[in-house]
A and B are shown apart, each in its own frame.
Chain A
Amino acid sequence: MAKGTNNAEVVIIGAGPAGLSTARLLADSGIKTFVLEKSTKAGANNFFSGVIEKEIIEDVFGKITDEESEKYYAPIERKLTEYRAYLLSRDSFIAVNERKNLKRRFIVLNEAFNNWMCKQAQDSGAKVIFETIAEELIINNSKICGVKTNSGDFYSNAVVVAEGVNSLLTKKSGLRKGEISPEQVFLFAEETIELHSDIIHERFNINEKEGVSIRLFMEELVSMPSTGYLHTNKNSITLGIGILFSKSLFKGININQCLELLKKHPGIYPLIKNGTTIHYSSYILPFHTEEKSPCSAVKRYENNCLVIGGASLLVDAFRADISSNAVLSGKLAGEAIIRAKDLNDYSKKTLSEYETLLKKHLEISSYKGINPDNNSDANNLSLFLSKEKLE
């Protein structure tokens, strides 16, 4: 390790759900950990859908709710008490509801929740350094030994790349072969629409302690492979749509056109009517089929280096709880690094433990339904119903 104040045992690139999970685990074990974040605060520009899985989050970040008093320790919008699936055709829709008072999933606003995760990692002792962009990996004697940034060089025994799906460094450093192809991703657009909570309660038939998440199937509506979601927050509704990027390129259709089509649909419009749009964002997520997964192009472990979360392309456009795979991969990377530290060996061979753990614990769904030439709403719906059961 070179001399200097910018030395840590582990440097993590990106303060999203994945990077912060590794940071929390390492810091809890007394490992000196730096997290480099390009924005002015954590999660300023990240997307993990509004639904979180309590068990997975609590395993890493500590209690988010108290079951007895229903008190929240983290910024939770609503408890998820009802799943719906809407199959939208051009001018009508079929709805399936499943309602149950469970304590497993919660609706959050990404930024507030990401800030909380950041605070938890900081409380454990991880140092989060903002406004710092990882420009390239520092390689000495063919060994990754740090990160070059706009605020100086950082040296460490191990580097964890957690920069998200829009992963520039992963490609630049050869950890991912080539550019991600438009056939492998969905392009999403999302709007947050403000509405008084009383109106939300009335329209969704819920009270202030309850929340609804709707999965939207609308291939017939947008005439291409697509997915959509609607979550009820406290005082707003999050509405998002994703379309197979290659297909939208081919057809010359903008994602916002699809979002507008969705907003005006007779199944959706009554829910968002008279609301005020308060935020608009766009992002990309990979998906996986049985035959092909974009994550095969990523080297998830190297000498002194691990790639996790969105950057590893292990996240999944079709999961309601997108953060779960990111948090899990971050946690498993943390475990692999703790073991490497015990052995004082950060070689590829030791860090391959991460891959072994991933295969054991991480569930990557495989969607047979994603066939660009096949209208597969019914297929996706049946898969959704079999997977998303509340219990």
Chain B
Amino acid sequence: MSKLQTKPDENLTNTIEEKLFINQFRPFTESHIKTNQDICNICPNKECIKFCPANVFAWSEIDEKLIIGYENCLECGACKMGCPFEAIEYSNPKPGYGVLSKK
């Protein structure tokens, strides 16, 4: 499909990490997203890790728990709808914190 594109375009981003790097965030010291770890531990598919547009969720093999990188959250609210076990509690970031405006 990308046959026409011979080399990658340098200034166009590709990965979520690259894109998040462009945005400005002002994270609060405490996460505005909370999960029920008991449920996360036994959740078979861990959908949140796949669908989150900001890669907020990751599974730590060492700690055997779900890590929440709330610092990069784009505040779309998909996580609370997408978790099949309603184990994600999303609240608004503290006023003045979170993803900042475009410029």
* Cross-interface CB contact of B81 among A43, A180, A193, A282, cutoff 8 Å: A180
Query: Contact at B47–A179, with CB atoms within 8 Å?
Result: no
Q: Which bucket holds chain B's interface residue count?
A: 35 or more
Q: Which residues of B contact A283 (CB under 8 A)?
A: 74, 76
> A179, A249, A274 — which one has the most chain B CB atoms within 10 A of its CB?
A249
Query: Contact at B12–A252, with CB atoms within 8 Å?
Result: no
Query: Contact at B92–A38, with CB atoms within 8 Å?
Result: yes
Q: How far is the CB of A177 from chain B (nearest CB, A)?
A: 14
Closest chain B residue to A276, Cβ basis: B11
Q: Which residues of B contact A179 (CB under 8 A)?
A: 80-81, 86
Query: Contact at A187–B78, with CB atoms within 8 Å?
Result: yes
Q: Which residues of A contact B11 (CB under 8 A)?
A: 274-277
Q: A277-289: contact bitstring with B at CB < 8 Å (1 yes, 0 no)?
A: 1111111100000
| B23 contacts chain A at the CB level, 8 A cutoff | yes
Query: Contact at B95–A282, with CB atoms within 8 Å?
Result: no
Q: Which residues of A contact B98 (CB under 8 A)?
A: 45
Distance in angstroms between the alpha carbons of A38 and B54 in the assembled complex: 21
Of residues 1 to 34 in B, which have CB atoms within 8 Å of A's CB atoms? Answer: 1-5, 9, 11-16, 18-20, 22-23
A256 and B45 in contact (CB under 8 A), knowing A44-B101, A274-B11?
no
A284 and B78 in contact (CB under 8 A), knowing A131-B96, A248-B51?
yes
Q: Which residues of B contact A180 (CB under 8 A)?
A: 81
Q: B78-103: contact bitstring with A at CB < 8 Å (1 yes, 0 no)?
A: 10111010100011101110111110
Sampled A-B contacts (22; CB under 8 Å): A40-B96, A44-B101, A45-B99, A90-B1, A109-B102, A111-B102, A166-B75, A180-B81, A181-B81, A187-B51, A245-B51, A252-B50, A256-B15, A256-B53, A263-B12, A264-B5, A269-B4, A269-B9, A275-B11, A276-B11, A282-B76, A284-B78
| A261 contacts chain B at the CB level, 8 A cutoff | yes
Query: Contact at A280–B22, with CB atoms within 8 Å?
Result: yes
Query: Contact at B77–A264, with CB atoms within 8 Å?
Result: no
Q: A180-200: contact bitstring with B at CB < 8 Å (1 yes, 0 no)?
A: 111001011101110000000
Query: Contact at B82–A249, with CB atoms within 8 Å?
Result: yes
Distance in angstroms between the alpha carbons of A79 and B17 in the assembled complex: 34
Distance in angstroms between the alpha carbons of A249 and B19 in the assembled complex: 22
Q: Which residues of B contact A150 (CB under 8 A)?
A: 94-95
Q: Which bucket holds chain A's interface residue count?
A: 35 or more
Query: Contact at B78–A245, with CB atoms within 8 Å?
Result: yes
| A299 contacts chain B at the CB level, 8 A cutoff | no
Distance in angstroms between the alpha carbons of A9 and B3 in the assembled complex: 62
Q: Which residues of A contact B96 (CB under 8 A)?
A: 39-40, 131
Closest chain A residue to B8, Cβ basis: A264
Query: Contact at B76–A277, with CB atoms within 8 Å?
Result: no
Distance in angstroms between the alpha carbons of A181 and B18 in the assembled complex: 30
| A351 contacts chain B at the CB level, 8 A cutoff | no
Query: Contact at B50–A277, with CB atoms within 8 Å?
Result: no
A182 and B81 in contact (CB under 8 A), knowing A248-B51, A252-B50, A277-B13?
yes
Query: Contact at B101–A245, with CB atoms within 8 Å?
Result: no
Query: Contact at A282–B78, with CB atoms within 8 Å?
Result: yes
Of residues 42 to 67 in A, which have CB atoms within 8 Å of B's CB atoms? Answer: 43-45
